[in-house]
């Protein structure tokens, strides 16, 4: 699953990832890593993201297409 943090932060607050990182008190690299899909936020950070962005968990994730298995 890819996290849609950048889209939600921009739509809900008008914030960049840099601003979101500052609001969360986290290194910029951490938030950029989540947004690029390299890492996932911890449960605590996901909860904080939801609170700060006033978003549901489902809004922060982007479903990846399911590949059909070829036989």
Q: What is the mean pLDDT of each run of 10 residues along the chain (71 residues)?
A: 82 94 96 91 94 90 62 58
Block residue for tokens 């947004």: 35
CB 24 within 8 A of CB 48: yes
What pLDDT score does 47 carry? 94
Please give the tally of structural domains in the chain: 1
What pLDDT score does 31 carry? 94
Block residue for tokens 């986290």: 26
**Residue ranges with strand state E in 1-71:** 2-3, 61-62
Q: Which CATH number covers residue 15?
A: 1.10.260.40
Q: Is residue 70 part of a domain?
A: no
**Integer Cα distance of 56 and 58 in angstroms:** 5
What pLDDT score does 61 carry? 77
For the whole model, what pTM was predicted?
0.79
**Integer Cα distance of 61 and 71 in angstroms:** 30
What pLDDT score does 70 carry? 62
Q: Containing domain of residue 41, as a range?
A: 2-62
């Amino acid at each position: 699953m890819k996290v849609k943090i950048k889209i939600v932060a921009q739509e809900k607050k008008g914030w960049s990832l840099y601003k979101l990182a500052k609001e969360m008190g986290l290194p910029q690299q951490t938030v950029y890593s989540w947004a690029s899909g390299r890492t996932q936020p911890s449960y605590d950070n996901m909860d904080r993201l939801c609170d700060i962005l006033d978003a549901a968990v489902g809004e922060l994730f982007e479903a990846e297409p399911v590949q059909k298995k070829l036989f």
